[in-house]
Chain A
Amino acid sequence: MTHPSVLVASNIVKDLGHGAGSVRALKGVSLDLRAGELTLLMGPSGSGKTTLLSILGCILTPTEGTLTVAGNSTSGLNAEALADLRRRHVGFIFQSYNLFPTLTAEENVRLALDVRGERGADVAARAQRALQQVGLGHRMKSYPGNMSGGEQQRVAVARAIAGKPSVILADEPTAALDSENGNAVMELLSEIASGVGAEHAVLAVTHDPRTMKYADRILKIEDGRIVGEERRPDGVDTIHQIARGKKRKTDAKS
């Protein structure tokens, strides 16, 4: 089943710097992200991955081209309007987790909801559900400093999904993690993309080849251009889908 596009970028051009020192970081990138899919954006250093991610996340504005997020065009929006679009439709996962060290895991997730203006009685419960979803139900009151890198990244994932955004953008989510924790985080992202209702489109920027087995689709970027796209053929499961299938069989037998 093909899900609708929740993010569409057309002919995105981005110049960084001014005047003679200006560099064209993106040279006409077009792509779309669909709910239910985990897309990897892979490319060498300096290829424009992070610049593209910043534009798709409404942090930077393109020099040319158009971007539509959850049906909203970003053209002509000022910084505050872009921030509004981010908080309503985009979840971020950062390479260095970017958790608030003075807040507990639960407070870090609640903060993301608070930023969205969600302050009802159920906010704590929603934060707790998000942490349970990433397997951290037992670490809600822990501070980031007392958690492993993998746990911190899972808190960051919980923070990204708590507000149920249309798009989740992850910047090198496994770069700071060992193989085991890296796999756990990618499994989580894959599960989030293909989970119940397939609500989220997930894009992860990475140069880690270990992550490829989790992808529904891989975009390759070089020198500011998308130079290749691989899509997992229909009927071929990702590692995560295979694992989930095995678990279902085991559950059925028992």
Chain B
Amino acid sequence: MTFTLAFRNLFHDRVRLAVTLIGILFAIVLIAVQLGLYLGARQIIASPIDHANGDVWIMGYGNKNFEEAQPINQRARFVALSTPGVASVIPMITSFVDWKKPDGGTANIVLVGADPEDGAMVPWNIVEGDTTALGTRDAVIVDKTYLEDLGIKTVNEIAQVNGSRVRVVGLTDGIRSFTTTPFVFTTLPRARSLLGLGPDQISYALVRLDPGASSDAVSAALQARLPDLQVLTKSEFRMRSLNYWMLSTGAGVALIGGAILGLIVGTVIVAQTLYSSTKDHLNEFATLRALGSSTGYIHKVILAQAALSAALGYVLGMIIAMLIIFVTESMALPLPIIMTGGLAVLLFGLTLFMCAVSAIAAISKVTRIDPAMVFAR
């Protein structure tokens, strides 16, 4: 009967129910979008590291993220190769550089140089052309998300990087950058040439381990042998990049802050409506108490009301959030909103938490109820 009573109380006042559901819906949508953006940002930041074929990364000291790498001497490769547990070491170059559009104007890009046959970082999600075309003269591969930014309409168009000619030979889809600076892929020698680096300069040396070797142990051994460089495992470098972009720049804090704000606003709205509903039904709760109900029984009614509101608000909120995600996905915005099963479960948990917290004021009110008020009407 507690559920029946909660259900009837809830649906008895449709206007208040609507206000409650709008409050929850608002909170869910805001939290879903903010956390979805947060996940999207994390995915974009970690994506190049996740797609790179290296268990341990050797880089210059002070590297904070994948895009901004200091040049290092590739002699480090040979030191690494003689370290136990190391199977191979692959050089790679990344650097911010200017891109001159075919019709004039410039854009900033992140040039990634790696030889496809080495497999350090092969462009993924190729939708036009293929990686073997990178072997042709002046070849680069770009992502179709950024075609407009690069002043390109299709493959085979010509542009300039650092004043040198490049030709687009392939397109990827969905390789986005957190900084909105497009990734442009080419071979290692061509990257050196475009950036004006010496033949022994690289940005990273990616270490592949022998089967069974521990990345932590090899990383420590390499760090001991290369004291002037920074050696990080893949997960350490991933975390460092995430921390830099999400925390140091304040972007992640803003997204999480938005989600917390949604939670607070939702809690306040639901608490307010639940409290006023409880006040309206105070005489009924006093009657229940006079009939001998325990306070726990009355709390169950209020919590059932809160849980029902949560379930209804969650379903409606998720429908709206999924619609927003669908629309933004079709617009191919630079920063995707990601919804995962885990996030959906987390959102439901947060909704229940929000409604349970909202019920505290109402519960506190009925806990102090005097059943003698039933005689005072």
Interface string of B242-260 (1 = CB under 8 A from A): 0000000000000000000
A177 to B304 CA separation, bound complex (whole angstroms): 36
Residues of A near B284 (CB, < 8 A) are: 98, 100
B66 to chain A, nearest CB (A): 60
A92 to B293 CA separation, bound complex (whole angstroms): 13
B294 at the binding interface (Cβ < 8 Å): yes
Q: Do A115 and B288 form a contact, CB below 8 Å, given A80-B294, A94-B375?
A: yes
Q: How large is the interface on A (under 10, 10 to 19, 20 to 34, 35 or more residues)?
A: 20 to 34
A102 at the binding interface (Cβ < 8 Å): yes
Give chain B interface residues in 1-34, CB to chain A under 8 Å: 1-2, 4-5, 8-9, 12
Once the chains bind, are B12 and A102 in contact (CB under 8 Å)? yes
B287 at the binding interface (Cβ < 8 Å): yes
Once the chains bind, are A59 and B290 in contact (CB under 8 Å)? yes
Residues of B near A103 (CB, < 8 A) are: 4-5, 8
Interface of B is mostly: helix
A90 to B287 CA separation, bound complex (whole angstroms): 13
Once the chains bind, are B375 and A54 in contact (CB under 8 Å)? yes
A86 to B297 CA separation, bound complex (whole angstroms): 14
B5 to chain A, nearest CB (A): 7
Once the chains bind, are B292 and A86 in contact (CB under 8 Å)? yes
A114 to B5 CA separation, bound complex (whole angstroms): 11
Of A105-113, A133-141, A218-226, A232-240, the segment with at least 4 beta carbons within 8 Å of chain B is A105-113
29 cross-chain CB contacts under 8 A: A50-B375, A54-B372, A57-B290, A59-B372, A60-B372, A83-B289, A83-B294, A83-B295, A84-B292, A85-B292, A86-B290, A86-B291, A86-B292, A87-B291, A94-B374, A94-B375, A94-B377, A95-B375, A96-B377, A98-B287, A102-B5, A102-B12, A103-B4, A107-B1, A111-B1, A111-B288, A112-B291, A115-B291, A159-B291
A216 at the binding interface (Cβ < 8 Å): no
Residues of B near A115 (CB, < 8 A) are: 288, 291-293, 297
B371 at the binding interface (Cβ < 8 Å): yes
B178 to chain A, nearest CB (A): 53
> Interface of A with B (CB < 8 Å)?
50, 53-54, 57, 59-60, 79-80, 83-88, 90, 92, 94-96, 98, 100-103, 107, 110-112, 114-116, 159, 171
A83 to B287 CA separation, bound complex (whole angstroms): 12
Residues of A near B65 (CB, < 8 A) are: none
B12 to chain A, nearest CB (A): 5
Q: Do A94 and B8 form a contact, CB below 8 Å, given A83-B292, A110-B1?
A: no
B223 at the binding interface (Cβ < 8 Å): no
Q: Which of A79, A85, A115 has the most chain B CB within a 10 Å cutoff? A: A115
Once the chains bind, are A90 and B292 in contact (CB under 8 Å)? yes
Residues of B near A96 (CB, < 8 A) are: 377
Residue of A nearest to B287 (CB): A98
Q: Do A111 and B283 form a contact, CB below 8 Å, given A80-B295, A87-B293, A94-B375?
A: no
